[in-house]
Structure 1
Amino acid sequence: MVECDIVSKDTKNILKSLKKLRKLNNIYYVWDYNKEFKKLIYSYKYNHRKIMAKLIAELVKDEFYYVLKREKIDVVVSVPVSRKRKNERGYNQVDEILNCLKVNYVQIERVKNTKKMAEILDEEERNRNIEGAFRISRNVDLRNKKILILDDIVTTGATLREIKNSILEQFEDKNGNKDFGINKKSNNIKITVFCLAAAREIKVNRGEI
């Protein structure tokens, strides 16, 4: 398959020229959510261009490994797509990028189908839509870990906040109390986010998740 069948050379060069690792609180991102990036991610997610994961991984690998080292990350977590969307696309775009980056990662479960977050403008509705959508196996011990969540686009941060909540809720007992075992210092969990692009909304909120 020739390169122009995947993404134009001009688009690739523009993305290279525009990429710059930036940070808002605990969120690192490489691009603004602009016209050229929209072209790339739309083709990857909705035109069944699984092969584009390799291109994206190549574009962000230096920044990604820099963050892993700088934040001393112990565990990488991928943002899951719903079973419905995975069946439609045939893959989870975030998992494919991580596979190309050759890094081990933890998959969390998406336990309910949700509406597309990009189609929901009201913040409260977004939060209701994503609430309770994720679950982490209790077999995955994240206590005392520095965790990096990888996502493609962050808009308002609602999805990332819900994943953060699901990680912390892993240690709740049946009464909703934080259950960190005998060693109370085991609740020392630090969460960092690495995303490909950040939208204007998250910048207005200064990257709070």
Structure 2
Amino acid sequence: MAEKDDNTAEPAGLTSENLAKSEPAPNEAEQVEHVEEQAKELPAGFPKAPPAASYPGYMQNAAEPPKEQAPGPVRAAFILTIVASLVLLIGQVVTIFFKQQLVDQAVKATPPGRKLDLAQLESNATTLVWALFVGALCFGIIMVLFAYKAREGTRSARTVVTMLALLGLVFQLGLVRSVFSVVSSLLLVILVVLLYLPSTKDFFPKVGKKL
């Protein structure tokens, strides 16, 4: 039988069988390091172990890069969005409890001599206050959702928040005026201003993230 080439001969005590029979390392990272150290001791021409990056799960152990934290004004705008939505919702709850006052005001505003169906008026008032409550609830949920996406750096979400804030201002100051609507409107203005401060420009690049 022909003798093995000196360049490919396996050194004594370090054969492929010995490597296969070696005890496994406690974890994957130590196993990779153990194989690499053995590969360095092999003579020239001996098959080398694959690079560490080729081992399954090797890169999974690498630490992920930290996410960019939202600037202070963006975080503050998100909190103000929640507060403004809650104030608006509380205002609608108060309106439900004071529904009878709305009915009484409508009765007083009725011209003398005009017949008025009180039952129909109360029914319309009930429908109106509950419709406003549901609308305020949906408005608040959508505002908070898009404000949260804007806090993650989504430029299009900031645009949606701005449009919703303008819509809320028109509704609260143009149609329904109360202490709660005024406070909520003021908070909406402040949060929109915070989202467009110069310090937030780099956080909302022109090619923003998709919703």
TM exceeding 0.5: no
| Larger Rg over CA atoms | 2
Between Structure 1 and Structure 2, which shows a larger proportion of helix residues? 2
